Structure 1
Amino acid sequence: MSAFCEHTTKQKILEELSDFKIANQDVRQLHILVHGPIAAGKSSFISSIASVFKGRMVQKALAEAAECDHSFTKKFSTGKLRDKDGKVLPFVISDIMGLQGAEAAGARTDDLVMALEGHLKSGYCFNPVGSVQKEDTFYNSCPNLNDKVHCLVSVLPGDKIGLMETEQVHTVIRKLREIRKKASELKIPQVVVMTMVDKACPEVSKDLKMIYRSKKIKEKMLECQNKLGVPMNYIYPVKNYSEEGELNNDVDTLLLYALKNILNFANDHVEDQLDN
């Protein structure tokens, strides 16, 4: 399912990332955009990544509970991340309002397309019934490569992916596919982060090291592939921090493994722009 193996450790990945260099001098920080249905774990994923680098629990965004029927994220938010020594990390992650089944609810696909193209400024307040306008304060009329998204991350809940068969969920999947299609046209790399793996498989809930051996997790990844059309080797199962009070090496390793690949894909993308 993946190149991930027992020899992949938190420390090994951190050492690799410590030498990370952006391949294009016109880019100050790689720009990652996370999107997905409400309660999929988008904000928790960002906070979990921030926690790993800080070495302690931090809250970068207010995360919604799994049973919540609305998105807690109302604004387009892009902020710097720092490590435990206060050093600014070479990437930023943008959080958006969750996608919903109703057409006039949640984030609009055209706003997400604007975000991909670099037209949305951090702080833009999502309006489910109307997209950003060119005269809006938070509209960037002349985005440069640094403003644009360098990798698109779709976040899906592993424990619920097989239940996504209602009409509203089909609408969410359609929106996700539309956004992926636009990202493909822009040649922006795309991955899926599959969250809540501990709830998807009892075996993994007991031991996260079993995640890439679990038949249940592989089934869930196949369902993600079938619904979004993302190849298996670009789907990363993770567990976000949700109940824990302390960091856990196994949780950190999965998060860092996903992030390392996301950053490499993003870096390949900005490097390709040198030839254009």
Structure 2
Amino acid sequence: MNHIHFTEYGKPWRKTPWGEEEQLGKSLREFKLNTPNIKHVRILVIGRVGSGKSSFINSVNSVFQKRITTEALVNKTSDSRTFTKLYKTYYIRNGQSVLPFVLTDTMGLESEDGHGVHQDDVVKAMEGCIKERYKFNPDSPVSPQDEGYRSDPSLQDQTYCLVYVLPADKISLTVNNDDDEVIKQIKYIKNKANELEIPQVVIMTRADEACPLVKNDIRKIYTSKKIKKKLEECSECTGIPVSHVFPVKSYHEEIDTQADIDVLILRALTHIVHLANDALTVKSNESRNSE
């Protein structure tokens, strides 16, 4: 019996527009927000230390620059501590202009107290209360007395989509560990995001590291039984529906961008940007109606 039947479905379980990276990129370059007085919609990226948050942000930038970029610093040492310490916004450039969506990076979530970002800081960031380049303090969350606290956030400062970055090759360890502090933090943040009516998406990185089929041929990402199982595990441990979980491969060892990697990133980003734009429209209408 052919071994392939055990590892691969006969046809893809999610349709993917392979070869259409130019059209996907063009749609996002020409994207217009429904709320004309807002310059850009904010997308907040969170995840465990080492999950690949900064690599994903760099990969999004690389797709639009058509070259590998490393604006968000990535920790390549064996140090398990979080590398990102500041609340920092990354603007996606299209030539000289800036696209109408931004990605904000945060300090990583960690299982030990006093090391990673405080879960309440993530909530404050979603509400728009944290100023650009605020340095996170793992020991205590931001307070109105801090210099980096914004007490009157505008629509522009708030988050309109929350993106969790989870590495595919480590997700099984997480699902089967009821004591995982990071998953407890994610569930807390998720409940707060629900209260704030912020849509949520999971970017499942390192799909190529989790499945040999995909490592060999990235187009097998949606025929791989292993990747489908990983998506279901991501959904199970975050409570986010499978339809909002996107497996990708970020750029990390490549020296040039590649069409198939771009397609997966652009497809996920398109979904995120549309969700964020819808959430901004609702918030903007509510704000106008309450004036």
Indicate the TM-score class for this superposition, using the shorter chain for normalisation.
Answer: over 0.9
Give yes or no for contact 1:177–1:228 (8 Å, CA) kept in 2: yes
Offset of 1:61 from its aligned partner?
1.2
Maintained 8 Å contact 2:35/2:280 = yes
Offset at 1:4?
3.4
Q: Which runs of 5+ in 1 are unaligned?
A: none
Q: Distance in 2 between matches of 1:163 and 1:139?
A: 36
Aligned counterpart for 1:80 among listed residues 84, 91, 97? 91
Does structure 1 residue 173 correspond to structure 2 residue 174?
no
Structure 1 position 273, deviation (Å): 2.1
Q: Aligned pair 1:114/2:124, yes or no?
A: yes
Question: Retained in 2: the 8 A contact 1:100–1:107?
Answer: yes
Partner of 2:38: 27
1:239 to 222, 239, 249: 249
Q: Does residue 214 of structure 2 align to residue 204 of structure 1?
A: yes
The residue correspondences of 1:86-235 to structure 2 (distance < 5 A) are 86-164=96-174, 165-166=176-177, 170-235=180-245
2:8 corresponds in structure 1 to none
Equivalent in the alignment of 1:258: 268
Partner of 2:20: 9
Contact kept, 8 Å, 1:39 with 1:67, in 2: the verdict is no
Q: Which amino acid aligns with 2:99?
A: L
* TM-score, structure 1 as length reference: 0.95
Aligned partner of 1:13: which letter?
Answer: L
Bigger mean CA deviation after superposition, 230-239 or 72-81: 72-81
Distance (whole Å) between structure 1 residues aligned to residue 92 and residue 163 of structure 2? 17
SS of equivalent to 2:164? strand
Residue 180 (structure 1) shift: 0.9
Separation in 1 of the partners of 2:13 and 2:118?
33
- Residues of 1 paired with 2:205 and 2:77: CA distance? 11
Q: Specify the code of the residue in structure 2 equivalent to 1:48.
A: S
Partner residue, 2:4: none
Q: Counterpart in 1 of 2:57?
A: 46
1:184 CA drift (Å): 0.5
Q: Please report how far the alpha carbon of residue 93 of structure 1 lies from its aligned counterpart in structure 2 after TM superposition.
A: 0.5
Give the Cα separation in 2 of the matches to 1:172 and 1:45. Answer: 19
Alpha-carbon contact 1:156-1:195 (below 8 Å) kept: yes
Q: Identity of paired residues, percent?
A: 41
Deviation at 1:205, TM superposition (A): 0.5
Unmatched runs of 5 consecutive residues or more in structure 2: 1-11, 287-291
Distance 1:183 1:244, change over 3 A: same
Structure 1 pair 269/66, CA: closer, same or farther in 2 (3 Å)? farther
Return the index of the structure with the highest Cα Rg: 2
1:103 CA displacement: 2.4
Q: Of the candidates 35, 55, 75, which is equivalent to residue 64 of structure 1?
A: 75
CA shift for structure 1 position 178: 0.7
> Secondary structure at the residue paired with 2:100?
strand
Moved more, 209-218 or 21-30: 21-30
Opposite residue 194 of structure 2, the aligned amino acid is S
Give the distance between the partners of 2:15 and 2:128, measured in 1 at CA: 33
Using the TM superposition, give the Cα deviation of residue 86 of structure 1 relative to its aligned residue in structure 2, in angstroms.
Answer: 1.9
TM, length-normalised to structure 2 = 0.90
Given residue 255 of structure 1, which amino acid in structure 2 is its aligned partner?
Answer: I
Provide the rounded CA distance (Å) in 1 between the counterparts of 2:56 and 2:195. Answer: 26
Q: 2:96 corresponds to which letter in structure 1?
A: G
Deviation at 1:166, TM superposition (A): 4.7
> Which amino acid counterpart does residue 52 of structure 2 have in structure 1?
G
Shift of 1:118: 0.2
Shift of the alpha carbon at 1:65?
3.9
**How many pairs were matched up?**
274
Query: 1:159 is paired with a residue of what secondary structure?
Result: helix
- The residue aligned with 2:9 is none
Alpha-carbon distance between aligned partners in 1 of 2:77 and 2:163, rounded to the nearest angstrom: 19
Q: Distance in 2 between matches of 1:117 and 1:6?
A: 35
